[in-house]
Structures are given as structure tokens and as C-alpha cells.
Amino acid sequence: MNTTRRRTLRLRTRVTLFFSLTALVASIGLAVVTYAVSRSFLIDQRQQTAQTQAFANAKTVRDQLLIDQKFDVLDLRTESGGFPVLVLDGEQFPLNASYPLEAFPLELRTAVSQGETAQQRFEYLGDPYVAVGVNMPSVNAQYLEAFPMQSTQRTLRAISTALLIGSLVTMLLAGVLGWWASRRLLRPISRVSAAAGEIAAGGLDTRMPPEDDPDLDRLARSFNGMADAVQTRLEREARFASDVSHELRSPITALTAAVEVLDGRRDDLPDRTQQALDVVVSQVRRFDHMVMDLLELSRIDAGSTELHREEVEIRELIPRIAQRYGFGEVPIDIDADIATVVRLDKLRFERILANLLENAREHGGGPVRVSLQLAGTTAMELSVDDAGPGVARGERSRIFERFARGSAARHRVGTGLGLALVAEHAHAHGGEAWVEDRPGGGARFKVTLTEVA
């Protein structure tokens, strides 16, 4: 069953978002409470002020009516934007004809006409007001006055805007704080990651320094203990492989000498014995080759082999190597732009080319072409073509691993270490090794070598 890993946000991003969202929720909650309290206070204050002013004006009207039996509403001192209406003996006396008695809410008018003192908020012509109605039975009159609330609404809008901006600023500040805190908290983890990367790259001696925090120091000590255990195990395995390879050299040398003696007297042996001898000779030689490769890999793993660059005449070196390993007839193409003298490790280069040629002979039907091209101002690219079945795309990276073989080479002779050595020597030169399809069929093995100029 195929499973896909769900992509998640980075830990630092999640911590930052957590701080931001927490601050946003908290600030919005505080803003809502603050707005509600401010709104209630301002409206209550406005209604109280309106009621006080309306009662004062109503008293003025009543006192004047008790003396003169008449009153002109124009003599009242009212707020700008508000409007009063005096109802005397059932007749209306508005301050402004545009604001008659009908502008007041019906509930308020009804309550006042029934002898009550009432107060109510309403809207008229799209503007908000608070109205106060006072019944004055001693003069058979009712006084109603509307007070504007635009200023209160503007104040509430300003408060809500300020609270909203404050919530956003708080969220941003919390995000910055979360990012800073997560960066500070994750710094030890970053050091662990960097140390682990160095160990994975081959720096087995990498360790974490002690931490001031007890919890982080325990993490550092646990990591260092794990690194010690891994290094000890790898060194033990490397020593074991090296020791085994060394111990096998003596019996293999003896076997090789004995087999060579028998092979020299093969004419004295029966046919079936000669066939068995051929199998023994091929397997002993293969075994000897594998042990030599293991010894070389052991030295590479132990770091005992260094890169020794020297000036070599590359146009003479490649044909000489091909001739030495029995591939003198293979066409060799060297780019004319490549300098005659280059700097590289001659022994490692020989191992690279020889292993590629041997690989082509054992698994690719034989090499058909060797080429050397420029790959930049200070790099070269070595290619060896073969006429075999090629390498499947799914196996192209795996065949450079130790003891790995492609599906087309499973039943062929070989140790499975030749291409691994090619990759190791290429990495030592600062390059890499890979394989691709050859135009016309077959495989093309390529190796880059850097800093040769």
C-alpha cells in the first residue's frame, strides 16, 4: 500500500503561528470586553446628560407656564442638532417644523401622554438620538426633547478602530516574539542537526559542546554518547573488514600459487579435471580481486589514503592505462581544449579508468569508446561507453553502492565493488560518478574530476 507523507509546517513556523493566534484571540477578547464596557459607559453617560438637560428645560417651561400661562420654545437653550417639542393643551409647539411631535417614537409619546416620564433611543432621518419625555400635569403640558448621539457614535467608532489596530499590532508583536523565542529554543536542535550532518558526511569525531541549560545539556550528552557508540561500532566493523581482508591474503596467495602450478600442468589432467580446474582458477582470481578491493575500501574508510595530485600528461596516460589492462584497441577521444599536463592523483585515476573498462567488459559487452571532455574551467569529464543492455533507471544510483549489481549483471562474474571504488575515487577528486544511456544503445559511465588545472 502506497502512503504519502503529509506535509506539515516547520516547527518554528508553528510556534510563531501559535504565539500570533494566541495573542490575536486574547487581544480580540480583551477588545470586545473593552468596547462593550466603553459603549455601555458612554451611552449611559449620554442618556444621563440628556435626562438632566431635559428635566432642566421642562422645569423652565413649567415655571414659565405657571406665571404667564404661555411659553415660547425658542427661548429654550437646546443642544445643537437636537430638537424639542412642547405639547400644551393638546397643541404642538415644535422648535423646528422639520421635527414635529411625530418624529419621536410612538412608544415614548404614548408613555408621556399617559402621565409618565420616559426615555428612549431612536433614529430619525438616519441620525441617532436619545429622547426624553416629561409629563407636566400641573400645567396640562408635555415636554419632549431629542438629543443627538452622533458624537457618541464617532467616539465608539474611534475606540473600535483603535482596539482593532491594537489587536493587529499585538498579533504582529507576538509573532515576532514567537519567532525570536522559537529561534532561541531551536538553536540547540539546529546544533544537533548540524552535528548529525557532519557525522553523516564522515566527520565521526564531531561532538556537541556542553550546554548551560540542564535539559539541553542532557540532550548534548545523550547525542555525544550516541555518536561515540556509532563511531566505535563503525571503527570496529572497519577494522574487522580490514583484518579479515589481511588474514585472507595469505591463504589466497597460497591458493593462487597452487592453482597456477596445476594450471601449468593442465595437459596432464583429464578433460573433466581441466574443466574443474578452470572453475577453480576463475573463482580464486575473482576471490583475490575482491579481497584486494576490500583492502582498498578499508584504507579509504580508515582515511589512510590521501589525494596526491601530481602533474601528468593525460594524453599519454589514458592510452597507457588502456594498454596495460588489455584494452589497447578501444578508441580514445580527448578534447583538444584539454591541456596536455593536468593535476590529478595518477593512481586513483588509473583505478577509475581500469574499473570502468573492466565493468564494461564484464557487464556491457566490452568498452567501445573512451572520451575525456572539459567540464568547466578546472574540471574534466571521463566517459566510458559500452555496447551492453544498459542500466535501468531505477538502478543507476544503486549500482555505485558496495556489492550492488544491476539486474542485467546478476549472473555474471564480478565482485560488486568496482563501481563503488570508482565513486569513492571520484569523490576524492571533488567529483562524482553516474551512468546514463548511450546514443545508439548501451550505457555511458561518466566521472567528473575537479581542480585539474
**pLDDT-based confidence at 318, cuts 50/70/90?**
very high
Instruction: Convert the pLDDT of each residue in 375-400 to its tens digit.
Output: 888 899 999 999 888 888 888 888 88
Task: Out of 139-143, 149-153, 203-207, 221-225, pick the least confident.
Answer: 203-207
Using a pLDDT cut of 70, give the percent of the chain over it: 86
Neighbours of 285 (CB within 10 A): 15
Lowest-confidence segment of 20-34, 114-128, 157-171, 202-216 by average pLDDT: 202-216
Distance separating alpha carbons of residues 145 and 85, to the nearest angstrom: 6
Which tens digit of pLDDT belongs to each residue from 31-51?
899 989 998 999 999 999 999
Phi, psi of 124 (to 5 degrees): -140, 125
Q: What is the largest CA-CA distance in the chain?
A: 160
pLDDT of residue 155: 92
Supply the pLDDT for residue 238. 64
C-alpha dihedral, 395 to 398 to 403 to 408, nearest 10°: 10
Whether the pLDDT of residue 301 is over 90: the answer is no
Q: What torsion do the CA atoms of 349, 350, 355, 358 make, to the nearest 10 degrees?
A: 140
User: Between 184 and 295, where is the model more confident?
Assistant: 184
Among 448, 451, 430, 195, residue whose Cα is nearest residue 310: 451
Give mean pLDDT, residues 66-94.
80
Q: Could you confirm whether domain 214-302 is CATH 1.10.287.130?
A: yes
Instruction: Give percent above pLDDT 90 in the chain.
Output: 25
Best mean pLDDT range from 92-96, 194-198, 311-315:
311-315
**274: Cβ contacts below 8 Å, ≥ 6 apart:** 266
Indicate the domain borders of the chain. 12-156, 214-302, 310-450
pTM of the model: 0.50
Q: pLDDT at position 435, please?
A: 92
Unique residue bearing C-alpha cell 545523550: 222
Q: If you average pLDDT over residues 6-15, what whole number do you get?
A: 72
Whether the per-residue pLDDT at 265 is higher than 80: the answer is no
Using 50, 70 and 90 to split pLDDT, how confident is the model at 406?
A: low
pLDDT tens for each residue of 198-233: 877 767 778 888 877 787 778 788 888 888 888 787
Q: What is the pLDDT confidence band of residue 1, given thresholds at 50, 70 and 90?
A: very low
Binning pLDDT at 50, 70 and 90, where does residue 330 land? very high
**Of the listed ranges 95-109, 137-151, 287-301, 348-362, the one predicted with least confidence:** 287-301
Query: Comparing 263 with 424, which gets the higher pLDDT?
Result: 424
Mean pLDDT of the chain: 82
pLDDT at position 133: 93
What is the rounded average pLDDT of the residues 82-93? 86
| pLDDT value, residue 146 | 92
What was the pLDDT predicted at 317? 93
Average pLDDT over residues 16-39: 87
**Is the domain covering 310-450 a CATH 3.30.565.10 domain?**
yes
pLDDT at 89: 81
- Strands 332-334 and 367-374, sheet pairing: parallel
CATH fold label, 12-156 = Beta-Lactamase (3.30.450)
Residue with cell 408621556: 112
